[in-house]
Chains A and B, each alone.
Chain A
């Protein structure tokens, strides 16, 4: 019952139509579920993206506008700075576009941009700002210029790639031993590895820091990488998949005088590719998103990963939301990009592994 064997049946199953031509109630329900799923899954992300382009002042507005808007400003003769433009309901009931000179308490002094000699004194409730779309790109450019963005990005990339490669090798080797060898204590080791899933990571942070410090890995990217490479989930996932590889294949190879190491990398690894791909994706995702652990191990900015570097906008007393939202979007993009590229591979891979 492997994913590979399944796909043929799936294809056949797919190519047949249900009730030719007629629309069944389940068809309607299906599309309703799909469409609402689409809105629910992507809506929040799009909203985050749009919000990240708003100015700090616009972010706090209620009701929020869909697009990033800013008050339109006009240059008026006789005034040094551009003035904000408002639509004002005058006392005689007419509406006019006026520029505001200044506001004093609850009255505002307005001027007609076409004829700067005409001024009006109006209550502030009578005016509404004239606004135009203007994305606040500075939410992105300012932090990215201020920080060694490329450096952070490079560190994140290094940690993610190296950790993922080591994770794949180390875990597949262990999974191979646990799946294909008979030895005493095998069940015990397996149960032991899985049972460590039960301890939330934050609990062991302080003892783990002790270990890292003792090994001289404080302020080293290896201190971020090494503790993460032996994941119980990875061993479990790969072992379950390897169990489905028939032992006869190994026996045949042994008859041909293949060494165990050759069997591992020439037969087992290629056959486990779908499960390895799933683990790779999860590993990339975990390592890219890691925050708390790198933070404790790294205190120098030239070693910061993207997640640490871009999170520095939360102060003790103030959170600079406009930067936080923009930088959240930035850290999200690579994951979304990788997913976009490998989407087909990932989703079929997980379905194929099936976590038997």
Chain B
């Protein structure tokens, strides 16, 4: 190990020489710039610039793929997206599919986040108990987090198909076959189920960390008084866990708004548009296949980003609030 690290150490020394000069010449401010520079460079070239182009796209029309050939159309794309008689009825909108996606995404976020938090909390509570092989069980629940969305979608689709394993199980138990992916309610249920399945382990581990941070003398006291388990949970565990819960809530909702890959592989947005989400609208409008409408897709992505920024600001606000709370403690 020592030998292995030697060249790394040597390299670090070598980098240190010019940086030492920078520090002497420009002081600490210069060093901050040096540390930030590589990240910001990559970031600007490969993320910020393309996003800027995307903003420009949202004000253009035409069939050209690259900015040079596109025509400026002002807010026409936004107007098209927002043209609705009533925002509550997607079919009254000119871009009905966009609004169907908005509605579905809103429902998905609420239902999936609720289910996710509940399942992750139960899992964290279970993993926090004195059980044999805790490491193993933690791994069991975390394992799907590592799979790619495509694999997750494919795997479950294979199970839920008309002729899939689950229907075989139902038939062998004497029940009727259920068309899981053709029934709107079932399809939405499975999209939610599968996304909870895939990400559960991640949130459960965060909550587990929160649970383990609760000082155990609180529990000791409760035990002395002979308080029943449910009461301990509602009165002690949940309030003390609340800050961690908030973080999980916000992280999970940002992820939920961007739902796409696994759902797309699983249901393709159907039946009809029952599981059709905003990102799928953006993807199909602008990027899949030959019929591209980049301007409309870009405008839709800008509207979605707006919603997400609000959610993120909420998260940053909560984090800041938590930091202050902890500072007080």
Contacts and interface: CB of A to CB of B under 8 A. Distances in A.
Interface of A: 1, 3, 6, 9-10, 12-14, 16-18, 24-26, 29-31, 33-34, 37-38, 40-42, 44-45, 47-48, 51, 60-64, 169-171, 173-174, 176-178, 181, 183, 189, 191, 193-200, 202-208, 210-211, 226-227, 229-230, 235, 259-262, 264-265, 285, 288-289, 291, 307, 324-325, 328, 331-332, 335-336, 339, 343-344, 346-347, 350-356
Interface string B256-299: 00101000000000000000000100110011000000100110
A339 B139 contact: yes
Contacts of B301: 199-200, 203
B229 A13 contact: no
Nearest to A183: B32
Given A62-B163, A205-B287, A261-B15, A354 B206 contact: yes
A289 B294 CA distance: 26
Nearest to A48: B155
Nearest to B294: A206
- Interface SS of chain B: helix, strand, loop or mixed? helix
Nearest to A198: B308
Nearest to A285: B146
18 contacts: A13-B216, A31-B131, A44-B159, A47-B158, A47-B165, A198-B304, A198-B309, A200-B283, A202-B282, A207-B53, A208-B46, A211-B50, A226-B46, A261-B16, A264-B35, A291-B150, A325-B154, A347-B138
A275 B285 CA distance: 38
A288 B36 CA distance: 27
Contacts of A48: 154-155, 158
A204 B50 contact: yes
B279 A202 contact: yes
Which of A1, A29, A45, A170 is most buried by chain B, counting CB atoms within 10 A of its CB? A170
B6 to A, nearest CB: 14
Contact of B305 (A173, A199, A339): A199
Contacts of B260: 200
A289 B212 contact: no
Interface in B88-147: 122-123, 126, 129-131, 134-135, 137-144, 146-147
Contacts of B322: 356
Nearest to A292: B287
Contacts, number: 265
Contacts of A325: 154, 158
- Interface SS of chain A: helix, strand, loop or mixed? helix
Interface string B160-177: 000111011001100000
B28 interface: yes
B20 interface: yes
Given A37-B123, A197-B254, A210-B53, A227 B47 contact: yes
B38 interface: yes
Nearest to A27: B129
Nearest to A243: B323
Contacts of B149: 289
Given A30-B126, A211-B49, A350-B205, A259 B140 contact: no
A355 B39 contact: no
A260 to B, nearest CB: 4
Contact of A26 (B36, B39, B229, B304): B229
Contact of B38 (A170, A206, A352): A170
Nearest to A10: B212
B321 interface: no
A189 B36 contact: yes
B36 A33 contact: no
A34 B155 CA distance: 22
Nearest to B326: A1
A294 B129 CA distance: 44
Given A47-B158, A211-B46, A259-B23, A195 B312 contact: yes
Which 10 pairs, one residue from A and one from B, show the smallest C-beta to C-beta distance?
Answer: A289-B148, A174-B39, A207-B53, A198-B308, A207-B50, A177-B35, A204-B50, A227-B46, A354-B209, A63-B168
A227 B146 CA distance: 21
A183 B27 CA distance: 12
Contact of A44 (B138, B156, B163): B156
B251 A173 contact: no
A197 B45 CA distance: 16
A202 B140 contact: no
Contacts of A346: 142
